[in-house]
């Protein structure tokens, strides 16, 4: 095998795409060989649902890192709890909807990000499971081309995917063995402490990912993009916690009423006896005051 072939295979494995594609039964089936079907177009069409599942699996691992519960992801990271957590609060749905539907990710940024991933991963020595050498051996070229096409073809791509690729890349830096295991994504396979190390690398002043992004982006984006990545690291934690403790999962937008007790209410003991209509101390003027002055 050529070094470029191995580099592509390592790249796909480290961002989780190879493992997800193998789990999905492979891409670019042999039935398409010799037909008039465009192989790249076929690969892109097959890869999109795989990437969506990979992104969701990564986001699941992120949400349970912030608010663990009685779920398989919390168990795998070593922090299972009896109380309901992020999965029961539907935080992954909240986070993916927020990232993909409300935050644009323009193509002008997607291309350098894809180049940064490819550049940073191609030279990193990660030992891959032998099974990866036996599965889809002739399709790595199509697979990485399809991934590049997905990242570069749309005016707006799912931001959850870009975040998932970054988290998975850093996960394999923290723990090379995370290229294989339960779940689809390397990040979801990490222990709680190693997930914390991933975020330490994102927010660190000399983070490899941050420096790599600065090198790949043209001026005047250099510097500002690395700052944005550092901000995103903290914002992901904050936004995930926000989604877990809000009423989002049980709020009926049509009736504007709750359909059940929010997970966050139970975790915090908020409003234990039903809705609170107000506090006596705040009816009228506070503490009987009738006027205020400077």
Name the nearest CA neighbour of 85 among 260, 259, 240: 240
290: in domain = no
Q: CA-CA distance, 288 to 34, in Å (whole number)?
A: 85
Q: CA-CA distance, 52 to 86, in Å (whole number)?
A: 19
- Please tell me the predicted confidence (pLDDT) of residue 188: 97
41: in domain = yes
202: in domain = yes
- Report strand pairing: 251-252 vs 257-258: antiparallel
292: in domain = no
Q: 39-72: string of b/e by CB count within 10 Å (b at 16+)?
A: beebbbebbeebbbebbbbbbbbbbbbbbbbebe
264: in domain = no
282: in domain = no
Q: CA-CA distance, 71 to 278, in Å (whole number)?
A: 36
227: in domain = yes
- Please tell me the predicted confidence (pLDDT) of residue 243: 94
Q: CA-CA distance, 18 to 227, in Å (whole number)?
A: 30
What is the reported pTM?
0.80
101: in domain = yes
Average pLDDT per consecutive 10 residues, the chain (294 residues; last block may be shorter): 66 83 66 54 81 94 97 97 96 91 61 58 62 64 75 65 86 90 94 94 64 58 57 84 94 91 90 66 65 71
Number of domains in the chain: 1
Q: What is the dihedral of CA 50, 55, 59, 60, to 10 degrees?
A: 0
- Please tell me the predicted confidence (pLDDT) of residue 108: 59
The parent domain of residue 171 ranges over 3-250
């Amino acid at each position: 095998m050529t070094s470029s072939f191995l580099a592509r295979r390592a790249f796909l494995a480290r961002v989780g795409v190879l493992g997800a594609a193998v789990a999905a039964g492979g891409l670019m089936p042999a039935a398409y060989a010799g037909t008039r079907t465009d192989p790249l177009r076929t690969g892109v069409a097959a890869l999109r649902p795989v990437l969506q599942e990979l992104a969701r699996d990564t986001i699941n691992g992120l949400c349970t890192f912030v608010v663990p519960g009685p779920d398989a992801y919390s168990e795998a990271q070593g922090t299972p709890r009896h109380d309901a957590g992020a999965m029961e609060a539907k935080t992954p749905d909240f986070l993916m909807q927020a990232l993909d539907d409300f935050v644009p990710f323009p193509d002008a940024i997607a291309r350098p990000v894809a180049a940064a991933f490819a550049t940073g991963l191609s030279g990193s020595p990660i030992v891959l499971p032998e099974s990866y050498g036996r599965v889809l051996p002739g399709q790595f070229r199509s697979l990485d081309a399809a991934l590049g096409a997905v990242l570069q073809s749309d005016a707006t791509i799912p931001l959850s995917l870009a975040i998932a690729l970054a988290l998975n890349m850093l996960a394999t830096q923290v723990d090379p063995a995370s290229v294989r295991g339960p779940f689809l994504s390397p990040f979801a396979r990490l222990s709680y402490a190693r997930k914390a190390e991933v975020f330490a690398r994102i927010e660190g002043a000399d983070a490899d990912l941050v420096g790599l992004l600065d090198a790949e982006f043209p001026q005047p984006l250099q510097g500002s993009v690395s700052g944005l990545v550092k901000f995103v690291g903290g914002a992901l934690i904050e936004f995930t916690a926000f989604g877990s403790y809000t009423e989002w999962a049980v709020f009926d937008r049509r009736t504007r009423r709750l359909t059940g007790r929010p997970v966050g209410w139970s975790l915090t003991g908020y409003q234990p006896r039903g809705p609170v209509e107000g506090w006596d101390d705040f009816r009228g003027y506070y503490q009987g005051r009738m006027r205020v002055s400077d």
